[in-house]
Chains A and B, each alone.
Chain A
Amino acid sequence: MKEALATLMRVLCLPAEQTKFETKYLRKVNRLATLFFALHVPAFVAVAYFNDTGPGTALLLTLAVLVGPLVATASFRNPRHVSLVHGFTSMLMGGLLVHFGQGPVQIEMHFYFFALLAMLSIFANPMVVIVAAGTVTVHHLALWYYLPKSVFNYDAPLWVVLVHAAFVVLESVATVYISRSFFDNVIGLERIVQARTAALDAKNQQMRLVMDNVDQGLLTVDRNGVIATERSATVDQWLGDCSDGAAFGACLSRIDPRYGDAFDAAFEQLQDGFLPLEVALEQFPSKAIIDGRQCGLAYTPIFTGEEVSQLLIVVTDRTAVVARQQLEQEQREMMSLIERSSQDRVGLAEFLREAEVLVRTVTDGTCTDFDLLKRTVHTLKGNSMLFELGSVAAICERVEDGMAESGRSPDASLVTELAERWQRLLDSVVVVLDSGTRDSILVRPEQYRALLERALAGPAGSELTPLLLELRLEQTRDRLERVGDQASRIAARLGKGELVVEVEGSELQLDPSRWAPFWQDFIHIVRNAVDHGIESEDERLGRGKPAAGTLWLSTRQEDDQFVVRVRDDGRGIDWSRVRLKAEERGLAVETRADLEAALFFEGFTTSEQVTAYSGRGVGLSAVRAATEARSGEISVSSQLGQGTTFEFRFPVSQMAPSPQELLVA
């Protein structure tokens, strides 16, 4: 009951707040109502005149009732209150009409009440209807009682009055409902719109908050490549002001013309529609360095129907991720170097020393010989891979590709990258290796013992000298074993399976500093043998060879010659193919010696495929250069299907300097 009453009150009473629209509307309707009632004055005088009910009284009384709305309009600030007075006035006017309409149609004059009650819904206020209904009820009952002639032209009993009242109640209920619904849906529309706008604003506000604070560049571009207004604040921070219909390509160009160019080109190709969408999207620039940030660019098409109408572009700062990945890789590489240093300290130190020279050749900018640069980068790449320095090898690879593509010296930014990476590597490796020992001579216990024994036996310069000399020298067997290890690693990485390495060493000794560059290039031969010479396991078995390939490495002294030999039992050299390729290159092909020479020619390769290890035709020419620098000669013998032997012959005098030479050095 209480709830029903509350609901009723909620329907009858309007919310206190008035919108501007409602105020304006009510003022207008109130004015019209006052005018409407003012017109009652002449009408009622006429009714009184024709029914002979006193036009003078009619004039006075109608004017008196009209005072109500006029005073209300002048004094009430709230137009709703004026409306209430109009509700009251309307029913008084009805009373006057029935009174002055006494005559044959007096009963019909009662229609006025019902017509007016309905018309009051124009105020969109149920209370106006209630006031009117109340007024007419009280008024009707009172007059019926005190002045029945004013109401009925016959002796109407009370139940007739109650019938009138029943109609009023019925109409009032309907009118109240209409008024309220009129208010809620039409007059209060502004309120609804306001509420929705506010909700939308709040949503926009949240969206804006996201867009202002997200640390990614989020934007969309239309068919013309123009950036939409709604974009994250980051876009303008990174790309500069992008307002006023700026095109994304133009904004990118401000950072680097190449980025803008690449974007515009890809955008045009996307719109041409020759390529499938995902292929066309792949052609967009995916990386850009913006203010030193390493940014990733991702593109998502937005469709309208079947067509791409917009492109969502997300620019992400990946600097931290890239840096972390780089750091992780560098740490992994460091770990492997540490491991290597515990197994083969000398080998590692030597690699670092050699590599440093190579890095310097590439990075110090003094080398203008394109082929030498290419060779150097290639060697550095190969050596780095042997020591599992993937990051260095990767940079070398990019330098190589760039040089091959452009035919010019490496890109400055890549060179810087290489120099920086190498420096970081050295900085950390020096800590591990303790730089002090890098240029020192290691003395094995048995050497120390021999020296001590001779020294104790008395001063014998001629006996001590060779021992002291030996400290500086390297056993060729040690070297060959190291080369053999590298060969095994290459074989493993190339998926060649097991490789048998036979080292036929001797007690020969070489000066490591004099021979280091040779061994470095010598690796090319070994690499070629493993990569191109040794067949796959299946192929070998098919040819009736043992599954594992064998590599023989040997050094020996023959009279006054120092001989280094590499032999493999692989597929051998296809001399006809060498002839074909040499002819293509315009090289001499008359004799076998010509063909052998062609093998070592700069950039010569018979390989159709380049692997990370070999195939670019750079290696053999480097070996030739290193051999000739030590007054050596190379000979090749190879039988198709049987294997290949490379033999290097040097004068014995090249092996090590004399003690006198050492002192001078």
Chain B
Amino acid sequence: MILVVDDSTTIRHQVRTCLQAAGYTVIEAENGAIGLQKAKDHPIDMAIVDINMPVMDGLEMLASLRSVPGKQGIPVFVLTTESSKDLVTRGKRYGATAWIVKPFKPDVLVKGVKHVLARAA
């Protein structure tokens, strides 16, 4: 089960469509706070999280997620329109597995997800 957290319905829809097509179950959240709650409530295998979101941003959510028992090791992809060294460094500190630049190619995202889930297993 993969949790997709993004305030943009378009992006959530895109991510969901391509992951579902690849056979994954997808749950969605529109901000970090809801995302964190859903991550706690559901047995998720992985999360794909946007950076800029209202209420609670992606990095904040990531940091909180890492302190939830049982959720420390879950792979997390960070979605971002503009990647920067600073962002990646911060992302890593908060425990991001990798980041994916928007707009992404669906097959590339699926490949990355497959790879990371295979490693996690």
Contact = CB atoms under 8 A, between A and B. Distances in A.
Interface string A577-616: 0000000000000000000000000000101111000011
A467 to B, nearest CB: 51
Contacts of B10: 401, 404, 610
Contacts of A493: none
A265 B112 contact: no
Nearest to B111: A279
A260 to B, nearest CB: 8
Contact of A279 (B12, B83, B84, B108): B108
Given A261-B85, A266-B83, A268-B85, A609 B13 contact: yes
Contacts of B81: 405
A82 B71 CA distance: 91
B88 interface: yes
A407 B54 CA distance: 9
Contact of A265 (B9, B52, B88, B111): B88
A269 B98 contact: yes
A424 interface: no
Contacts of B86: 261
A276 B115 contact: yes
A482 interface: no
A628 interface: no
A282 B104 contact: yes
Contact of B52 (A272, A405, A615): A405
A303 to B, nearest CB: 18
How big is the A interface, by class? 20 to 34
A275 B116 CA distance: 7
Interface string A260-281: 0110111011001011101110
A132 to B, nearest CB: 78
Contact of A262 (B84, B112, B116): B84
Contacts of B41: none
Contact of B100 (A258, A283, A404, A615): A283
A406 interface: yes
Interface centre among B7, B83, B100, B111 (most CB of A within 10 A): B83
Interface in A387-420: 401, 404-407
B8 A404 contact: yes
Given A278-B111, A282-B105, A265 B97 contact: no
A135 B52 CA distance: 100
Contact of B115 (A275, A283, A616): A275
Contacts of A274: 97-98, 116, 119
B31 to A, nearest CB: 12
A268 B84 contact: no
Contacts of A275: 98, 112, 115-116
By CB atoms of chain B within 10 A, which of A274, A278, A404 has the most? A274
A492 to B, nearest CB: 23
Contacts of A266: 83, 101
A265 B116 contact: no
Interface string B11-36: 01100000000000000000000000
B49 to A, nearest CB: 14
A257 to B, nearest CB: 9
Identify which of B7, B84, B119 gathers the most chain A CB atoms within 10 Å of its CB.
Answer: B84
B93 to A, nearest CB: 13
Contacts of B98: 269, 272, 274-275, 280
A16 B116 CA distance: 70
B112 A279 contact: yes
Given A404-B8, A607-B9, A615-B9, A262 B99 contact: no
A282 B99 contact: no
A580 to B, nearest CB: 14
Contacts of A269: 88, 98-99
Given A274-B97, A283-B99, A404-B8, A261 B13 contact: no
Interface string A166-183: 000000000000000000
Given A258-B84, A268-B88, A405-B81, A276 B99 contact: no
A615 B14 CA distance: 14
B56 interface: no
A266 B88 CA distance: 9
Given A276-B111, A276-B115, A610 B83 contact: no
B44 interface: no
B54 to A, nearest CB: 8
Nearest to B87: A265
Contacts of A616: 9
Which has the most chain B C-beta neighbours within 10 Å: A264, A282, A605, A607?
Answer: A282
A283 B8 contact: no
Interface string B73-96: 000000001111111100000000
Interface in B26-68: 52, 54
Contacts of A272: 98
Nearest to B84: A261
A279 B115 contact: yes
The 10 tightest CB contacts between A and B, nearest first, are: A261-B84, A279-B112, A265-B88, A264-B85, A265-B83, A276-B115, A610-B10, A282-B108, A265-B85, A262-B83
Interface of A: 258, 261-262, 264-266, 268-269, 272, 274-276, 278-280, 282-283, 401, 404-407, 605, 607-610, 615-616
Given A275-B112, A609-B13, 17 more contacts: A261-B85, A262-B82, A265-B83, A269-B88, A269-B98, A274-B116, A278-B108, A279-B112, A279-B115, A280-B98, A283-B100, A283-B101, A401-B8, A607-B9, A608-B12, A609-B9, A610-B9
30 contacts: A258-B82, A258-B84, A261-B85, A261-B86, A262-B82, A262-B83, A262-B101, A265-B83, A265-B88, A265-B99, A266-B101, A269-B99, A272-B98, A274-B119, A275-B98, A275-B115, A279-B100, A279-B108, A279-B115, A282-B108, A283-B83, A401-B10, A404-B10, A405-B8, A405-B52, A405-B81, A407-B52, A407-B54, A608-B12, A610-B10
